[in-house]
Amino acid sequence: MKTLRDRYCIVGVGETEYSRGSGRTTRALAVEAVRRAILDAGLTARDVDGMMDYQSGDSTLANHVAPDLGIRLDFYMDVVGGGSSTEALVGLAMGAIETGMCRTVAIYRSMNGYSEFRIGGTGARAAQPVRGLDLAQVPFGMRSAGQNFAPTFMRHMYEYGTTSEQVAHVKVAHSKHASQNPKALLRERVSVADVVGSRWIVKPLHLLDCCLETDNATCLVVTSAERARDLRHRPVHVMGVAGRVSKPRLDFHWAHGPITRVAGYYAKDIVFGQAGIGPEDVDLTGSYDAFTFTTMLQLEEYGFCKKGEGGQYVSSGIIELGGRRPNNTSGGHLCEGYTHGMSMVIENVRQLRGTVDDSCPGAAEGVHSHDYAPGRCRQVKDAEIAMNLGWAVPPTGSALILRR
Amino acid sequence: MPEPVTYRGMTLLVPDNDSEWKEFYAHARAHRLVVRRCAVCGLLRYPPSHACPWCMDLGWAWHEVSGRGTIYSYAIVHHAIQPGFKALTPYPVVLVELDEQRGRPTPDEALRIIANLVRPDLTPEAEASVAIGRRVRVVFQDLAEHLALPQFTLTDEPPAGRVWRLSE
């Protein structure tokens, strides 16, 4: 297998505040996040010559963001898409640099996901006519992501006996992690009883099984390992990447079951093959927690446990800080805020640097207590390899393996 | 261009050049559930698409199916997103596996369709009656001269396999 293992790095990360009402345009948000990531890398506007972003008609474009910051581009691309674009764009940025089109790429996502364009189809999207492929489901009152994904989880419960209580542990773990994260929107720790006692949104999903629609922008800066050596932080290397890997019948994935199988089934060999490692070698994961059970499905499909045993796995304590392989140590989409996948990569980069922004007095210098009591540390001890499990919909996913 | 159809506050748009849905809905309005059948390999597919996903042939014809099937999975919407559905909550959305072509051409594949589970009068079926494994048949909800939605309703046939529903 051809691989670019360890030849590219994520050298800068940045984000705006996570809020439910930014009061700003997506252009303003993007400019702030991109600037922060460039400064985080120790670069200047002159050093960045590539820009990519993803959106679905709900955001600003690279050719508006770059000039605001005085960046002249040799390469840019605005990509249509949502979750799972994150890891795919890291791979495409590596490709753009590998071909010589540019040398350093800023990847951003900017969204007023709460106050302007809501993912569920309300807000500015509600008035659009229903046509084409949407006619196969939207007229039946199946429009939001929760409504779309619910039959997948229901069938998993039927086939494997998975329970609401088991997947509630994902929210419990992420809320524990968010309580150590000053940036998180929801910093209160919750219990399994809180999750299964919250009101139904679409069965089998309760309110607290669902992530938080959020306004924010986020950015990653990718460059060659050679260039990364002289930059500000310890470089974080890309070991492997898989982008928007899909199940058959992406138009209507329910036609090709088992519907409990998600895209990671196909992505795992690509990403682990490049990296030359297996699930046991991974110290922490960042999984796309649009809902509690999406995390479970991905962990299963990438082989962190056997297929069908995801419920037991996520309720075993393994995915919590202090457990063997913590997941979404920033609190993820369920608790930190919804970023379409970006924040979990940002968090893993900081974990591998050893500089997550928790409440440890020496956090910025990489001095951590590893005391996971409320309000304290969220740095994983000796984290060397981190993996991101990106998700768009059950049949499409991406993945990224990083090492320090 | 035919008039857009307003249904529960949504505008359903099937323009004249819509080569996927226009005839599907005309058949549905005549209370026939049709899918596309490949002219070469004979396999059925839904939703309407332009090449055979198994043999890539472009030739196809509409093929009427029995409209009988089994609930393969479902969701119960308690918090409606679309305003026109709020009065209907809780309403079931079902993934129905039709009797034709189950487990073909590979064991994981089937002809499946999304719809609502309704009573014969087209109101949402009671949540307690919705379960994986229960048998259903198609009914049609007429919305306009040129458009009807296929929906499903329970039958009294014995269930297919294990019956399961999410406990309250």
Question: Based on the structure, what is the number of domains in chain B?
Answer: 1
Let me know if residue B93 belongs to a domain.
Answer: yes
Element (H, E) at B116: strand B112-116
Which residues of A are less than 8 Å from B78 in CB distance? 199-203
Q: What is the pLDDT along chain B (168 residues), one digit of tens a residue?
A: 678 899 999 999 999 999 999 999 999 999 999 999 999 999 999 999 999 999 999 999 999 999 999 999 999 999 999 889 999 999 999 999 999 999 999 999 999 999 999 999 999 999 999 999 999 999 999 999 999 999 999 999 999 999 999 987
Asked if B166 is an interface residue toward chain A (Cβ–Cβ < 8 A), one would say yes
Listed by number, the residues of chain A in 244-303 with a beta carbon closer than 8 Å to a beta carbon of chain B are: 248-249, 251-252, 254-259, 261
Asked if B116 is an interface residue toward chain A (Cβ–Cβ < 8 A), one would say yes
The whole-number pLDDT of residue B27 equals 98
Let me know if residue A164 belongs to a domain.
Answer: no
The whole-number pLDDT of residue A268 equals 98
Find where tokens 């299964």 sit.
Answer: A196
Let me know if residue A15 belongs to a domain.
Answer: yes
To the nearest whole Å, the CA of B95 is away from the closest chain A CA by 7
Q: Do A151 and B20 touch (CB under 8 A)?
A: no
Output the CA–CA distances (angstroms, integers) from residue A351 to A86, A178, A229, A340, in the order listed. Answer: 18, 14, 18, 19
Active site residues of A: 288, 338
The whole-number pLDDT of residue B42 equals 98
Return d(Cα A332, Cα A398) in angstroms, integer. 17
Amino acid identity for residue A67 in this structure: P
Asked if B10 is an interface residue toward chain A (Cβ–Cβ < 8 A), one would say yes
The whole-number pLDDT of residue A124 equals 63
To the nearest whole Å, the CA of B92 is away from the closest chain A CA by 9
Q: Judging by beta carbons within 10 Å of its beta carbon (0-12, 13-18, 19+), is residue B8 exposed, middle or buried?
A: middle
**CATH number of the CATH domain containing B104:** 2.40.50.840
What are the tokens at A354? 């050893």
- Residue A52's region, left for phi above 0, alpha for psi from -120 to 50, else beta, is beta
Let me know if residue B165 belongs to a domain.
Answer: no
Best mutation target among A119, A122, A131 (most B Cβ atoms within 10 Å) is A131
CA B136 vs. chain centroid, Å, equals 11
CB A320 within 8 Å of CB A170: no
**Interval A10-37 mean pLDDT:** 98
3-state secondary structure of B110: coil
B13: nearest CA in chain A?
A131
**CATH number of the CATH domain containing A252:** 3.40.47.10
Quick one: pLDDT band at residue A120, thresholds 50, 70, 90?
A: confident
Listed by number, the residues of chain B in 123-152 with a beta carbon closer than 8 Å to a beta carbon of chain A are: 132, 149, 151
Let me know if residue B167 belongs to a domain.
Answer: no
Return d(Cα A37, Cα A11) in angstroms, integer. 8
Sequence-distant (≥ 6) Cβ neighbours of residue A248 within 8 angstroms:
A256, B53
Find where tokens 């524990």 sit.
Answer: A176
A207: nearest CA in chain B?
B79
The closest CB to that of B13, out of A122, A130, A261, belongs to A130
The whole-number pLDDT of residue A308 equals 98
Let me know if residue B46 belongs to a domain.
Answer: yes
Best mutation target among B11, B19, B35, B95 (most A Cβ atoms within 10 Å) is B95
The whole-number pLDDT of residue A118 equals 87
Best mutation target among A119, A154, A260 (most B Cβ atoms within 10 Å) is A154
Instruction: Reply yes or no on whether the pLDDT at A127 is more than 80.
Output: no
State pLDDT tens for residues A152-187.
Answer: 999 999 999 999 999 999 999 999 999 999 999 999
The whole-number pLDDT of residue A350 equals 97
Listed by number, the residues of chain A in 109-148 with a beta carbon closer than 8 Å to a beta carbon of chain B are: 120-122, 126, 129-133, 135-144, 147
The whole-number pLDDT of residue B141 equals 98
A160: nearest CA in chain B?
B164
Q: What is the dihedral sign for C-alpha A123, A125, A131, A134? A: negative
Output the CA–CA distances (angstroms, integers) from residue B116 to A204, A251, A348, A386, B136, in the order listed. Answer: 16, 20, 42, 42, 11
The closest CB to that of B166, out of A204, A258, A261, belongs to A204
**Other beta carbons within 10 Å of B157:** 12
Query: What DSSP character marks residue B147?
Result: E
Asked if B26 is an interface residue toward chain A (Cβ–Cβ < 8 A), one would say no
Q: Which residue, A326, A237, A320, is CA-closest to A284?
A: A326
Find where tokens 């950015």 sit.
Answer: A219
State pLDDT tens for residues A248-294.
Answer: 999 999 999 899 999 999 999 999 999 999 999 999 999 999 999 99
Measured CA angle at B146 (ends B143, B151), to 5 deg: 45
Let me know if residue B88 belongs to a domain.
Answer: yes
Output the CA–CA distances (angstroms, integers) from residue A67 to A34, A63, A220, in the order listed. Answer: 12, 7, 18
Listed by number, the residues of chain B in 53-72 with a beta carbon closer than 8 Å to a beta carbon of chain A are: 53, 72
The closest CB to that of B108, out of A136, A201, A256, belongs to A256
pTM: 0.97
Asked if B108 is an interface residue toward chain A (Cβ–Cβ < 8 A), one would say yes
State pLDDT tens for residues A304-361.
Answer: 999 999 999 999 999 999 999 999 999 999 999 999 999 999 999 999 999 999 999 9
Let me know if residue A150 belongs to a domain.
Answer: no
Q: Do A139 and B90 touch (CB under 8 A)?
A: no
The whole-number pLDDT of residue A1 equals 64
**Interval A78-98 mean pLDDT:** 97
Q: Judging by beta carbons within 10 Å of its beta carbon (0-12, 13-18, 19+), is residue A74 exposed, middle or buried?
A: middle
Q: Judging by beta carbons within 10 Å of its beta carbon (0-12, 13-18, 19+), is residue A25 exposed, middle or buried?
A: middle
Let me know if residue B159 belongs to a domain.
Answer: no
To the nearest whole Å, the CA of A119 is away from the closest chain B CA by 11
Domain that holds residue A74: 8-116+211-403
The whole-number pLDDT of residue B168 equals 74
What are the tokens at A279? 């699930």
**Other beta carbons within 10 Å of B156:** 5
Let me know if residue B9 belongs to a domain.
Answer: yes
The whole-number pLDDT of residue A128 equals 84
Let me know if residue A130 belongs to a domain.
Answer: no
State pLDDT tens for residues A370-397.
Answer: 999 988 999 999 999 999 999 999 999 9
CB A56 within 8 Å of CB A340: no
**Interval A124-138 mean pLDDT:** 88
* Mean pLDDT of the residues in chain A: 96
Domain that holds residue B70: 5-154
Let me know if residue B160 belongs to a domain.
Answer: no
Let me know if residue A158 belongs to a domain.
Answer: no
Return d(Cα A340, Cα A212) in angstroms, integer. 11
The whole-number pLDDT of residue B55 equals 98
Question: Based on the structure, what is the number of domains in chain A?
Answer: 1
